[in-house]
């Protein structure tokens, strides 16, 4: 079972096709909207409230699927929320992040062109690099080498701060939104290597 934590520019409905990628690999997937996103309450979101919401979703998964291996996944800013969650719980089977970063200040410092998602959340620090060392389960960091929103070196730095066992997968030709699709074969190999998961073809 996989808890899917979306990024700042999305909600559950807008992330449905990405969640389906994980379902096609054999995972049962739960996606949640933080406060201020999708059909959740209209409260102004913050780093603290987003992590609280992720913890509440994890508590639900624990109650409903406590006998199954449970994974935390985050895409983009959701990766920082996933890192925070995984650093606070001790019963996750693993942490998987895609297009993730070390911190929001690092994202701003390395941003070259285009537009960052408009969201109150990107005014927060989200220091994933400071937290990932506290994750006690295997870590998989997935990043596209053509990601122009979150530079690949930020994903690499985040990976370097994680404790082993861990794996970094850089997907050739993948953008910020497509690493898990373009790099499906490499992703399947990493899932097998870290967790013995024989993902569906």
pLDDT bucket at 12, cuts 50 / 70 / 90: confident
Predicted pLDDT at 113 = 55
Cβ pair 155, 80 in contact under 8 A: no
How much is the pTM? 0.91
**3-state secondary structure (DSSP) of residue 5:** strand
Tell which residue, 28, 31, 71, 67, has the closest CA to residue 200.
28
Q: Residue 118: its pLDDT value, please?
A: 46
Residue extents of the structural domains in the chain? 2-195
Residue 110's pLDDT band, with cuts at 50, 70 and 90, is confident
Could you tell me the pLDDT band of residue 123, with boundaries at 50, 70 and 90? Answer: low
**Peptide bond just before 165 cis, omega within 30 deg:** yes
CA dihedral 186, 197, 59, 14 (to 10 degrees): 40
- Average pLDDT over the chain, rounded to whole? 89
User: Tell me, what's the pLDDT at 195?
Assistant: 98
CA distance 46 to 27: 29
Q: What is the mean pLDDT of residues 108-113?
A: 73
- CATH architecture, domain 2-195: 3-Layer(aba) Sandwich (3.40)
Q: How far apart are CA 119 and CA 122, in angstroms?
A: 6
Span 17-28, pLDDT tens digits: 899 999 999 999
| Higher pLDDT, residue 39 or 145 | 145
Cα–chain center distance at 91: 17
């Amino acid at each position: 079972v996989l808890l899917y934590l979306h990024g700042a520019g999305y909600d559950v409905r807008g992330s449905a096709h990405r969640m389906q990628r994980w379902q096609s690999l054999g995972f049962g997937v739960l996606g949640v909207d933080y406060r201020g996103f999708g059909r959740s309450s209209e409260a102004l979101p913050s780093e603290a409230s987003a992590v609280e919401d992720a913890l509440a979703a994890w508590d639900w998964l624990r109650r409903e699927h406590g006998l199954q291996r449970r994974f935390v996944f985050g895409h983009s800013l959701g990766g920082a929320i996933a890192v925070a969650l995984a650093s606070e719980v001790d019963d996750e089977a693993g942490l998987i992040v895609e297009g993730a970063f070390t911190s929001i200040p690092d994202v701003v410092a390395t941003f070259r062109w285009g537009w960052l998602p408009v969201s109150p959340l990107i005014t927060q620090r989200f220091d994933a690099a400071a937290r990932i060392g506290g994750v006690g389960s295997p870590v998989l960091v997935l990043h596209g080498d053509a990601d122009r929103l979150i530079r690949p070196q930020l994903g690499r730095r985040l990976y370097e701060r994680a404790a082993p066992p861990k794996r970094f997968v850089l997907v050739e030709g993948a953008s910020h939104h497509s690493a898990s699709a373009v790099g499906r074969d490499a992703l399947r190999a990493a899932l097998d290597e870290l967790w013995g998961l024989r993902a569906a073809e």
